[in-house]
Amino acid sequence: MRIGLRLFFGFFVITGLTAFFLLRVFMAEIKPSVREVMEDMMVDTANLLAELATDDLATLPPGGDLNTTPFAQHVKAYAQRPIDARIWGLRKTTLDFRIVVTDSQGLVLLDSGQPSTVGQDYSRWRDVLLTLRGEYGARATREVPSDDRSSVMFVAAPIRNKDGRVIGVVSVAKPQASVEVFIGRSERRIFWAGALLLVLSLAIGVAVTLWLVWSVRRLRNYAQRVQLGQREAAPQMPGELGDLARAMETMRERLDGREHIERTVRALTHELKSPLAALRASGELLLDDLPAANRERFAQQVVTQSERMQELIERMLELSKLDMQSGPPHPQALRLDELVQEQLEARLAGAARPVRWLSREALTVQGDRELLALAISNLLGNALDFAPQGTALEIAVSASDGRALFSLRDFGPGVPEAAWAHLGERFFSTARPGTLSKGSGLGLALARQVAQLHGGTLRFERAEPGLRVVLEL
């Protein structure tokens, strides 16, 4: 499984379980909380009614009818009172309190909801029984035993005379169905809020996962490009991933430096063997008594091999400097066609070599003038070395898909099939036409390195006859 799917799956499981348990807790707490609030209000109401009923019940003669008292008349008026109230968007059209008054023996004296219960014995109901004992009395009774929604809550308060003796009980009843609409609305709001929270959490999880995967893939692609030998700066990223990218870049630079030194020392040692051997042989011969012609020939050999060694060392120094750079050191806007013309004039000074411009567009590129001039000069020198005298050079400066192209073709013998895979490698070269001598192979390597520093490429194309080199920037 890919890392992105693993991260998203883990985030989904954690968020889903958290949302599920939180919603379950909230949903489970709504009904008890609403009932607790309702009971608290009913306690206040019951005690208020108990105070209002005290005088009428205290003055009621034995066997008297409480329904004829002012208190009972006010209770009946309350039950018939019209109401139309909007409570936070919900409409209330009925008054739901049922008021029951019993005497000190638990006999019903008044019932605003069910007058037929007057005279019945409620002394064994929990609300009346506990209140007559001096305790807090409350109960919840289902009018339909199998239906929890038919539950009615009763809260009682004692009626006391001036001596503090309990002479009766007022019970306030309220059907829990009257608050179900508020409970249902709260449950729906919490459910949809939880669903929205879950969706937002998952969206954030997707965004975080995509960002992490994108960052990891940038690091992976950077490592793969480095493995292929491309030189570029580490991707800029925040936090620990940025630290990892910089650590990878530092490690790459150290490994590149070590490998580069080892490879360069081996190659340079191999390349220096031939001129050193020639120098030693010429020097030994010059120690002998030689004719003037031979002495001059061997002295010229010493000069030639010394120049070859000097050129080799200078090019190696240039390559070493390029290896330590990650981009052009002094980028500026410059005309590529004009730079090519300058290098042509410098290379062909005094040489009768025809040049054909196939295309010459006025292209402006961003680059280091000195490095680009070095690359173009080396490409021209390579073409002149391998093209027979009198043959032309074909040059083109053009644009394609937003890229600047410098194309150079010679009409030499071309490149053997076995050598194609090694073109542009350091110290790889083929024999020049008509001789067995080879170059150092550093000219094309320099040009390729300059192209890479400018975000471009150096490629080779077969031409019959000859070879075409294309520098793309």
Q: How far is CA 143 from CA 163, 170, 179, in A?
A: 37, 20, 16
CA distance 234 to 189: 49
- The answer for residues whose C-beta is within 8 angstroms of residue 223's C-beta and 6 or more apart is 248
Q: How far is CA 391 from CA 103, 388, 399, in A?
A: 132, 6, 26
Closest CA to 388 of 412, 414, 353, 415: 412
Total Cβ atoms within 10 A of residue 250: 11
Assess whether the previous peptide bond of 175 is cis (omega < 30° from 0): no
Give the pLDDT score at 312. Answer: 64
pTM for the predicted model, two decimal places: 0.45
Residue 149 phi, psi dihedral angles, 5° rounding: -70, -15
Give the pLDDT score at 266. Answer: 58
Give the pLDDT score at 437. Answer: 54
CA distance 95 to 86: 13
Q: What structural domains does the chain harbor?
A: 3-185 (3.30.450.20), 327-473 (3.30.565.10)
Give the pLDDT score at 153. Answer: 92
Encoding tokens for residue 69?
């008292």
Burial of 99 (0-12, 13-18, 19+ CB in 10 A): buried
Burial of 391 (0-12, 13-18, 19+ CB in 10 A): middle
The tens-digit pLDDT sequence of the chain (473 residues) is 566 666 667 767 777 777 777 666 666 667 777 788 888 999 999 999 999 999 999 888 888 888 889 999 999 898 888 988 888 777 888 888 999 999 999 999 999 988 899 999 999 999 999 999 999 999 998 877 777 777 899 999 999 998 889 999 999 999 888 877 777 777 777 778 777 877 887 787 777 777 777 887 877 777 777 766 666 667 777 777 777 777 777 776 666 656 556 655 655 565 566 667 777 777 777 777 778 787 778 788 778 777 767 766 766 666 666 666 667 777 889 898 898 888 888 877 666 678 888 888 888 988 888 888 888 888 888 888 777 777 888 899 898 888 899 998 888 877 777 666 667 666 666 655 555 555 556 777 778 888 888 888 888 888 878 888 898 98
Residue 326 phi, psi dihedral angles, 5° rounding: -110, 0
Give the pLDDT score at 433. Answer: 58
CA distance 179 to 82: 19
Q: Which residue's structure tokens are 């985030």?
A: 11
Encoding tokens for residue 251?
């490690």
CA distance 66 to 50: 14
Give the pLDDT score at 40. Answer: 92
